[in-house]
């Protein structure tokens, strides 16, 4: 058991080193992306990602390639966020309450409507969007159970809350009949 504890500690140390290197890499991606944005050259950001020429033992090489592909994918998503703004998911169409709240919370974001709460939620899980604006409750029906189920069952968590006062009005022409 002593050997296992020693190996476990070494794995924790390696993970700590990886996290520091990952933070350094994303910091460099951020600097480069901001510079490309300032120069109006967002397409040049793609030059940051290239095939790895690092050679490892045959046993490790395929796993390193998998790791490198994941890191590049994450780096591209981060760079895209810096270059183009955050992708904000909401349920509904442009002008829906979710869209209105998303615009208030994240001015300047890229707003992407989804046909239901689950698809909006899943877009964040998959990395297509950076966050989702979803209702937790409303004064008419109370708690929105479907959204709470997603929060409790899935990997995402509630980051903040925004209250939107909604007033419904019935409009029509002067001679219209109800």
Q: Which tens digits make up the pLDDT trace of 127-136?
A: 889 889 988 8
SS (H, E, C) 19-79: HHHHHHHHHHHHHHHHHHHHHCCHHHHHHHCCCCCCCCCCCCHHHHHHHHHHHHHHHHHHH
Q: Is the pLDDT of residue 99 over 90?
A: yes
Under 8 Å between Cβ of 89 and 101: no
CA distance 21 to 177: 69
Q: Is the C-alpha dihedral spanning 112, 116, 117, 121 positive or negative?
A: negative
Q: What is the pLDDT of residue 11?
A: 93
Sheet holding 131-133, edge to edge: 110-114, 87-91, 131-133
Q: What is the pLDDT of residue 120?
A: 94
Between 23-27, 45-49, 144-148, the lowest mean confidence (pLDDT) is in 45-49
Q: What is the pLDDT of residue 35?
A: 81
Q: Are strands 87-91 and 131-133 parallel, antiparallel or unpaired?
A: parallel
Residue whose structure tokens are 């504890």? 5
Q: What is the pLDDT of residue 171?
A: 86
Q: What is the pLDDT of residue 12?
A: 93
CA distance 131 to 121: 8
For helices 61-84 and 2-39, angle between their N-to-C axes, nearest 10 degrees: 40
Q: What is the pLDDT of residue 44?
A: 61
């Amino acid at each position: 058991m002593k050997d296992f504890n020693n190996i476990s500690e070494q794995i924790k140390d390696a993970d700590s080193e990886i996290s520091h290197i990952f933070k350094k890499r994303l910091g460099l991606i951020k600097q480069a992306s901001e510079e490309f944005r300032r120069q109006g050259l967002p397409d040049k950001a793609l030059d940051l990602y290239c095939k790895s020429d690092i050679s490892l033992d045959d046993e490790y090489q395929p796993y390193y390639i998998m790791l490198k592909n994941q890191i590049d994918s994450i780096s591209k998503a981060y760079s895209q966020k810096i270059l183009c703004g955050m992708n904000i998911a909401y349920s509904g169409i442009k002008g829906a309450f979710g869209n209105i709240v998303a615009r208030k919370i994240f001015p300047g974001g890229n707003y992407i409507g989804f046909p239901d709460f689950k698809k909006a939620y899943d877009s964040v899980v998959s990395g297509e969007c950076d966050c989702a604006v979803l209702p937790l409750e409303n004064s008419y029906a109370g708690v929105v159970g479907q959204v709470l189920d997603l929060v409790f069952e899935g990997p995402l968590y509630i980051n903040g809350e925004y209250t939107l006062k909604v007033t419904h009005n019935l409009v029509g022409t002067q001679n219209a009949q109800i």
